[in-house]
Chains A and B, each alone.
Chain A
Amino acid sequence: MKHLKKIAASALALSLAATSMAYAGGAKIGMITTLSGGGSGLGIDVRDGFMLAINQSDNKDVEVVIEDDARKPELAVQIADKMIQSEKVDILTGIIWSNLAMAVIPSATAQGKFYLSPNAGPSPLAGKGCHPNYFNVAWQNDNLHEAMGAYANSVGYKNSYILAPNYPAGKDALTGYKRFYEGDLAGEVYTKLGATDYAAEIAQIRASGADSVFFFLPGGMGIAFMKQYAASGVDIPVLGPAFSFDQGILGAVGDAALGVKNSSQWSKDLDNEANKAFVASFQEAYGRLPSLYASQGFDTANLILSALEGADVKDADAFRAALKVAEFDSVRGDFRFGNNQHPIQNIYVREVVKEGDVLTNKIVGLGLEQHQDAYAQECGM
């Protein structure tokens, strides 16, 4: 598991016969993502979304090398070094977790490589540590939480109990929520990262007199929390970012998630042509519904492909400019970059619903319109 490497260039059959278009140049892309162990569902979705776009493209000169970081920062750094030095990739992408991103991205961009983030958006890289070769195609970490804070105001919550794991992204999450939320806090709790028993916290929530609960517990933590919350009989409404309610884990949470409001920059029912085609083709290719991670992988690949049409990846300035204009059909609808090369985008509020037997999300409102992250002005670009 941990040390298993997948060099998937051959397996994923990318070296198809060259039918190169007029001026769409090739590129070698290194994808470092989490494909084994805990949290591998996220990496697999990003990879599948990314490869779907690559396979749908006419540009057959794009080569993708995929390796598994097993969610380990030291492994991610080794893979990045290898991809840069011996594989000679032009572009890096794929990292899911902020701690891995912080270990890899600054050194990769300093070596003149492009990095496009399909998931993590740690605040240092959006503010003072922004870099001309770093593009974030997903969101800055705080964004979805900020939208939930704004939503809590709009529905009149005055006393939130907020909860996140005790690690940097957990603190970013609660900071993001508090940046927009204007009411009081009934409690603010940091749980141990990876904890799966929330009986003690749920008992405190019951006793706190809160009118709403905001939590950021990605992956298995969120599954455990929602199931235990539903079983406890506490009926205070729950809010969260999409990470605890994405397509990959809703099935495991079950009906306990029904009716929960969550924030996301993407939803499968977003009404635009690119999204409809994406959802249909993803389902056809992989036999499951796409998650927001898959949509981010898909957008990242399409952004790269769009830039390759206008510029040669070896000409860094031209390629950077081509990325920055972001001339591609995003599944999110409108997509543009701010000065720090992070997205300025709508963040929607979704509700967990049941379609037939399948739990999924539908958009019920707009959390923040054309939202830019709070760190952009600290960036010198």
Chain B
Amino acid sequence: MTAALFFEQLLNGLQFGVTLFLMAAGLTLVFGVMGLINLAHGSLYMVGAFACAAVAAATGSFWLGLVASIVAAAFAGALIEMTVIRRLYNRDHLDQVLATFALILIFSEGCRFIFGSFPLFLDVPAILAGPITLPGGLPYPIYRLSIIVVGGLVALGLYLLIAKTRLGIRIRAGEADREMIAALGVDIRTLYTIVFALGAGLAGFAGALVGALQSVQVGMGEPVLILAFVVIVIGGIGSIKGALIASILVGIVDTLGRVSLPSLFGLFMDPSAANSIGSSLSSMLIYVLMAVVLIFKPEGLVSQNG
């Protein structure tokens, strides 16, 4: 592999990691602050993508679609928090899993009911289409580069929100001791709704960004959801910083593994066997990574409890 190709694959890994981060940030907030396992997070991602595709098709503007994706997903998030999720905080994880799994089914069939079974069209906006030549003569899609930048900005914004604002202080306080913060007169119900809507909005935003790159279809959220859970487990549940580190780690390990494992096995095996073993192993790689991290750091890379 040449240096340029390696660098390009690093960028690909970074971009994949950043999109994972947008998903994982909301998931880890909700899990950390409310102690809730939300399987329907992937559905909010799908809602964002569908909202973006629908608005972009109706108005012709990807940017309006992007705004719509955040609004629609945050609204859907707030709605399910107030109607369903709120009743689950004091229940055990099995009830939460069951109820949020039901939400997945409802959202998927709802989307199919409204938009039909065929994938929707959503393309990147014209000014971000095509490749740009990076220093060193490497062509790279502008859109992917933009995702990296946007993801970085979102990470910075979340850091400022959590560390510097009153809302952030309350979120951290809610994470540490929810009875105490309620006793201090903070409206914990509203706080939970806000946190949930924030996480949902981020998921919807990720869905729209990725939908333009991939495909907008029913069931698109679930594969990402699994990866996002891997990320928050590696990063340490409840930690935004952990989610950022872990998602970039997962993105890069997965991308480089996919590229290099088949050729690594090719050194001592015949090509077709090396290909199939290499590809099979590379799809397990992030789970191996998760297992290794958990052996040495059972609470994840950035632990909240110590």
Contact = CB atoms under 8 A, between A and B. Distances in A.
Interface of B: 2, 5, 8-9, 12-13, 15-16, 104-105, 108-109, 112, 117-121, 123-124, 129-131, 139, 141, 143-144, 210, 212-220, 223, 255, 258-259, 262, 271-272, 275-276, 279-280, 282-283
Contacts of B118: 41, 248-249, 251-252
Interface string A198-217: 01110110110000000000
Contacts of B141: 199, 228, 231-233
B209 to A, nearest CB: 12
Contact of A252 (B119, B259, B275): B119
Contacts of A99: none
B223 A194 contact: yes
Interface size class of A (residues with CB under 8 A): 35 or more
A37 B123 CA distance: 23
A254 B123 contact: yes
Given A227-B123, A228-B214, 18 more contacts: A35-B117, A37-B219, A41-B117, A44-B117, A189-B275, A190-B279, A197-B16, A199-B15, A200-B9, A203-B9, A203-B12, A204-B259, A227-B212, A231-B124, A231-B129, A248-B118, A248-B119, A251-B121
B4 to A, nearest CB: 8
A203 B11 CA distance: 11
Contacts, number: 136
A220 interface: yes
Nearest to A208: B5
A146 to B, nearest CB: 18
B119 A200 contact: no
Interface in A1-28: 1-4
A213 to B, nearest CB: 16
Given A188-B271, A200-B255, A231 B109 contact: no
Given A189-B279, A199-B16, A200-B9, A233 B108 contact: no
Contact of A224 (B108, B214, B283): B214
A328 to B, nearest CB: 28
B96 to A, nearest CB: 19
Contact of A220 (B12, B119, B272, B276): B119
